[in-house]
């Protein structure tokens, strides 16, 4: 077993421009690929939810674990395949009995990595409090491995910061924010063990509005009418995420580094909107 590993976490993948950018990015770093890759996929299928086809597609790129968020249920087929999707996690604080699981322990190259997905409650939907469910999940995971990565999918920065600082005291490896699609510049290590960032950003079209078409987005804001959003597809995408260096014995993160790369995609825009 390695004494140190690198974990890469990729921000919310938005539509086909995001999926294609992630495919190309992972292929480009193949000779220096991180030991474990996690990606948030709640917007991976045309900006809302995740189809089984896209789940299998992203799995083939070499991603080891998928987190999600409040859009995980947007594609109805999720109810049919989520039980078999053994690398996919839905937020842990949905009510008891909800399909899917809120955390997984995945073993790769003799190293076990625990990954938890949780929703914030500020400006979000009605879900159970994240505090108690996280505490219980962390205790269960730590029976098998010291490595615990939390995706806190939340709107409010203050809530994410509180989750990060609080659960760093539990010795978790990382608390990484998703949902806003805007990468923050506040990466740090809490309590000499926990890598933290308020939002890792997103993977998708860089010229839209957090991955969605600008013209439709601005029209919605000006008119206050609920026009259907569509994925932006300018041919220029971005990759946002973080790389975390982790001690496999202690589970402590030693460093966190932001990823902010541009990927040029030459396909016709109409092809890239899915």
Q: Which residues are catalytic?
A: 71
Contact 190, 165 (CB under 8 A): yes
CA dist 94 and 40 (Å) reads 17
Separation between Cα atoms, residue 257 and residue 91, nearest integer Å: 25
Contacts (Cβ under 8 Å, ≥6 apart) of 29: none
User: Residue 179 in contact with residue 69, Cβ under 8 Å?
Assistant: yes
Sheet-wide strand order for 111-119: 103-108, 111-119, 148-153, 174-178, 194-197, 188-190
Cross-strand pairs, 67: 40
| Residue 141: both structure tokens together | 């995971």
Distance CA 38, CA 16 (A): 18
């Amino acid at each position: 077993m390695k004494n140190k590993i690198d974990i890469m976490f990729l921000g919310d993948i938005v539509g086909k421009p995001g999926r294609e950018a992630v495919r190309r990015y992972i292929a480009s770093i193949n000779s220096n690929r991180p030991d474990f890759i996690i990606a948030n996929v709640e917007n991976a299928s045309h900006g809302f939810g995740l189809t089984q086809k896209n789940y299998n597609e992203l799995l083939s790129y070499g991603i080891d674990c998928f987190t999600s968020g409040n859009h995980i249920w947007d594609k109805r087929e999720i109810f049919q395949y989520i039980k078999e999707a053994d690398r996919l996690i839905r937020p842990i604080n949905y009510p008891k009995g909800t399909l899917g699981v809120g955390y997984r322990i995945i073993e790769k190259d003799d190293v076990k990595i625990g990954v938890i997905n949780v929703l914030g409650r500020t400006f979000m939907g009605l879900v159970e409090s994240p505090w108690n469910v996280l505490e219980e999940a962390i205790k269960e995971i730590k029976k098998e491995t010291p490595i615990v990565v939390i995706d806190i999918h939340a709107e409010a920065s203050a809530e994410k910061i509180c989750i990060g600082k609080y659960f760093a005291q539990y010795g978790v490896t990382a608390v990484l924010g998703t949902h806003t699609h805007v990468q923050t510049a506040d990466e740090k290590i809490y309590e000499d063990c926990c890598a933290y960032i308020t939002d890792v950003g997103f993977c998708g079209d860089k010229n839209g509005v957090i991955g969605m078409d600008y013209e439709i987005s601005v029209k919605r804001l000006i008119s206050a009418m609920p026009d259907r959003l569509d994925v932006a597809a300018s041919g220029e995408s971005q990759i946002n995420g973080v790389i975390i260096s982790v001690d496999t014995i202690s589970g402590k993160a030693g460093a966190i580094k932001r990823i902010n790369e541009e990927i040029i995609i030459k396909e016709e825009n109409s092809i890239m909107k899915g």
